[in-house]
Amino acid sequence: MNIKPINKWIPNLKRPLVIAGPCSAETEEQMLATAKAVREIEDVRIFRAGIWKPRTRPNSFEGVGEKGLAWLKTVKEETGLLVTTEVANAGHVELALKNDIDILWIGARTTVNPFSVQEIADALKGTNIPVMVKNPINADLALWIGALERLNLAGIDKLVAIHRGFSSAEKTEYRNVPHWRIPIELKRRLPELPIVCDPSHITGDRHRIALVCQKAMDVDMDGVMVETHPTPDEAWSDAAQQVTPTMLAEITKSLKLKTEFSHDRSFETELSELRQQIDRIDSELMESLRMRFNIVERIGDLKMKNHVTALQVHRMDEMINKVKALAENMGLRGQFANELYHVIHEESVKIQAEMMRSFLKEQEKKN
């Protein structure tokens, strides 16, 4: 992909780039009050506000619509901030362009749909307006990259990725699970693409935003998008995850910036940073194991219904050989992978055997 470095189109940009503003535009007064307050925060360069809101259920507030574009224009004129809003179809794009919106963003519910993304890309041909692409709702990196590619093929080279976490069927501590390895892999594949983290939609909870902002800096992201409202509790959408401008100022002030290539770090800082990375990877490993064992349980269920034994030796050999080869390809010791997978497999068999035992007990009780 041909991506223009972000400091070529946002002058005097410093890290972190902070994007602030309400989840939704509500009134012109709310917009201006928020914008004037966040402009005082040095790192804030872009003002966000949704005017067409994709809501999970009908009959909730679906945005003020077109009139909000005029309010964004006023914000831009009165504060000098760049302004951005979400577009989900060609009609939105046309109106946003007509009203001189500086930057567009594509929401998570739109990124999942190649038809919609293509419609937006087609509507943008010949403009080269910057576009920020939120990750799709589901944890699918290819779909995220695909959306960026569609825009790039339409001639958009001012691109930003926004990491807003991924929806999960399981109950988790996050509103949208971050799965940090996905944006990290995106950065590995497209190192020139700026990535901004959206801790509001990740946490769903204003009290946990600071922590996720710091984590975003620790994994070398370029900035954060934080939903900001003068009176968050009264917000018409996403109330729990918006902060006041004062809170945002505190969060940005507290961020410790770490750059990937700094050489003059003291031993302690470097060590603690490495340990944080290890902790992060460990928590991802545990998350992956949890997901693996969930599937093991589903297989156990299937086996029971079909009267098949928990331990199937040929499957175990096949799996361990596969993992061993995979590990060796990645420069890990095959013997290590072998031992690790014996332990994991043993646990899987235990889980399924336990399921079988309680199933039989239930049956006995019934008879």
Strand partners, 24: 50
Q: Is 238 in the site for Mn ion (CB under 5 A)?
A: yes
Q: Is 76 in the site for ligand PEP (CB under 6 A)?
A: no
Q: Is 108 in the site for ligand PEP (CB under 6 A)?
A: yes
Instruction: List the one residue out of 172, 164, 182 whose CA is nearest residue 23.
Output: 164
What DSSP element (H or E) covers 308? Answer: none
> Distances in Å between the alpha carbon of 9 and those of 107, 197, 221, 347?
22, 19, 18, 53
> Which stretch, 69-77, 87-95, 106-114, 326-334, contacts ligand PEP (CB under 6 A)?
106-114
- Residues in region 187-206 near ligand PEP by CB under 6 A: 201
Binding partner at 175 among Mn ion, ligand PEP, none, C-beta below 5 to 8 Å by kind: none
Strands (E), 276-330: none
Q: Is 23 in the site for Mn ion (CB under 5 A)?
A: yes
Angle value at C-alpha 168, between 165 and 171, nearest 5 degrees: 115
Q: Is 19 in the site for ligand PEP (CB under 6 A)?
A: no
Q: Is 134 in the site for ligand PEP (CB under 6 A)?
A: yes
What DSSP element (H or E) covers 203? Answer: helix 199-203
Look up residue 253 and give its amino acid: K
Q: Least separation, in Å, of the C-beta of 165 and Mn ion?
A: 12
> Which stretch, 20-28, 79-87, 136-144, 341-349, contacts Mn ion (CB under 5 A)?
20-28
Binding partner at 164 among Mn ion, ligand PEP, none, C-beta below 5 to 8 Å by kind: ligand PEP
> Which stretch, 107-115, 241-249, 284-292, 301-309, contacts ligand PEP (CB under 6 A)?
107-115
> Which stretch, 90-98, 102-110, 179-187, 247-255, contacts ligand PEP (CB under 6 A)?
102-110
167 within 8 A of 176, measured Cβ to Cβ: yes
Q: Is 68 in the site for ligand PEP (CB under 6 A)?
A: no
Q: Which residue has the tokens 């983290």?
A: 197
Q: Is 102 in the site for Mn ion (CB under 5 A)?
A: no
Q: Least separation, in Å, of the C-beta of 170 and ligand PEP?
A: 19
88 within 8 A of 113, measured Cβ to Cβ: no
Token pair in block for residue 297: 């349980």
> Distances in Å between the alpha carbon of 195 and those of 3, 11, 90, 245?
12, 17, 25, 23
Q: Is 235 in the site for Mn ion (CB under 5 A)?
A: no
What DSSP element (H or E) covers 358? Answer: helix 334-366
Q: Is 87 in the site for ligand PEP (CB under 6 A)?
A: no
Binding partner at 134 among Mn ion, ligand PEP, none, C-beta below 5 to 8 Å by kind: ligand PEP
Q: Is 50 in the site for ligand PEP (CB under 6 A)?
A: yes
Cβ count within 10 A of residue 95? 17
Token pair in block for residue 186: 């995106």
Q: Is 107 in the site for ligand PEP (CB under 6 A)?
A: yes
Which residues sit at the interface with Mn ion, rule CB under 5 A? 23, 238
Which residues sit at the interface with ligand PEP, rule CB under 6 A? 23, 50, 54, 107-109, 134, 164, 201
